[in-house]
Amino acid sequence: MTRIKQTLAELVRIDSVSAGSNADIVEYLERRCADLGLVTRRFPYLDDYGIEKINLIALTKDVAEVELALVGHTDTVPYDPIWTDATNLTERDGKLYGRGSCDTKGFIAAALTALETIDLSQLTKPLALIFTADEEIGLRGAKQLALEKPLRVRYSIVGEPTSLKPVRAGKGYSLAEVIVKGREAHSAYPALGASAIFRAARLINRLEIIARQLRQDQHAAFDPPYTTLNVGLIHGGSAKNVLAGECRFTLEWRPVPSQPSEHVLKLFQAAIQEETQADPDFQCEVDASRADSGFETPPDSPLIKLLEKLTGKGSSTVAFGTEAAQMMALGSVSVVIGPGDIREAHRTGEFVPVDELERCAEILKESVMQICLISG
Ligand SMILES: [Zn+2]
């Protein structure tokens, strides 16, 4: 077995589903980084369930600012218990199967392998490996780093399965729960109450109009080229013959990076205000729980140009969230790239193609050499 496959097999062997602690995989990565002569620093925090999670930073020099960071998340999505080989990396037809093989342990194995083939003492500019926790449950670890700012980063290469296509921009992700109040009454006497469901329906109609308005703010690099929104869940009422006292629905939107997350919220608040003017009894709460920003690196950035040259592929954009936005908070210009296909990522039978895995290590090696070795 080649070195890179061996490393990936060891990473996959360590169960690191987001729900549990990531201490075991962090310990493994610390050991590997120490073998490379890197300085490691742990940044622990408690997740929403009181479980300790650890972000790990490994540095070629003990500095506060690095030229380049390679970023990979240590956690994976859960796996179905019927997939008995989920943590046992299995090779078939040039593909390596296992939970996390594609998202994102393949990238981590490639990064470690790349560094093993470089004489790190020769680097003229500092390099970091950043291993995060809880990416799969709302980028929690990366957000913690963005808050603590333990390091300044000039350029970052964020690992996510993109089939080795450089991704230079991603949409943000925002979420709110809307709670509309009514007054219960017997449905034979609707004048005695107010239906929260009818009220919610009016708001949802307005959201459809807002969704159409959002199309006017075009960002041509994306597909679709504008902010989208969705009401994915709705729940309300207690019985068929009772006016609903409450109706809740989720409002999710994916803003283009040029548009602040609050834009949709402001349009929605204005719609609520109009409803309240028409009906002074109208009551509605908006509980916004997420506002993850998108990211965008200009197509002519040296980082994008370099990765386009190394991969032979033009850069593109994605409609989903990545840790690149949090790396921006550390001062970084970012690109997202990694082996494997995002469409395979969260499925039973997740895999990474061997050739892409090996190619990724070469690309990362070249990137480190070009960014951290050549002065100027
Ligand atoms: Zn991922």
pLDDT given for residue 128 in this prediction: 98
How far does residue 335's CA lie from ligand 1's centre (Å)? 14
Does the pLDDT of residue 152 top 80, yes or no?
yes
If phi over 0 gives left and psi between -120 and 50 gives alpha, with beta otherwise, what is residue 87? alpha
How far does residue 351's CA lie from ligand 1's centre (Å)? 13
How far does residue 155's CA lie from ligand 1's centre (Å)? 19
pLDDT band at 320 (very low <50, low <70, confident <90, very high): confident
Q: Strands 65-73 and 127-132, how do they pair?
A: parallel
pLDDT band at 376 (very low <50, low <70, confident <90, very high): very low
Looking at this protein, which amino acid is placed at residue 109? Answer: A
Active site residue 358: no
Which residue in the list 30, 47, 134, 135 is annotated as catalytic?
A: 135
How far does residue 227's CA lie from ligand 1's centre (Å)? 22
> What is the four-CA torsion angle of 308, 314, 315, 317, rounded to 10 degrees?
-160
How far does residue 361's CA lie from ligand 1's centre (Å)? 17
Which residue in the list 75, 136, 296, 356 is annotated as catalytic?
A: 75
pLDDT band at 375 (very low <50, low <70, confident <90, very high): low
Active site residue 75: yes
pLDDT in tens, 225-252: 999 999 999 999 999 999 999 999 999 9
How far does residue 160's CA lie from ligand 1's centre (Å)? 5
Cα-trace Rg, the chain? 24
pLDDT in tens, 97-142: 999 999 999 999 999 999 999 999 999 999 999 999 999 999 999 9
Nearest to 31 by CA among 14, 50, 19: 14
pLDDT given for residue 374 in this prediction: 66
Q: Does an H or E element contain 130, and which?
A: strand 127-132
Rounded Cα distance between 4 and 86, Å, is 18
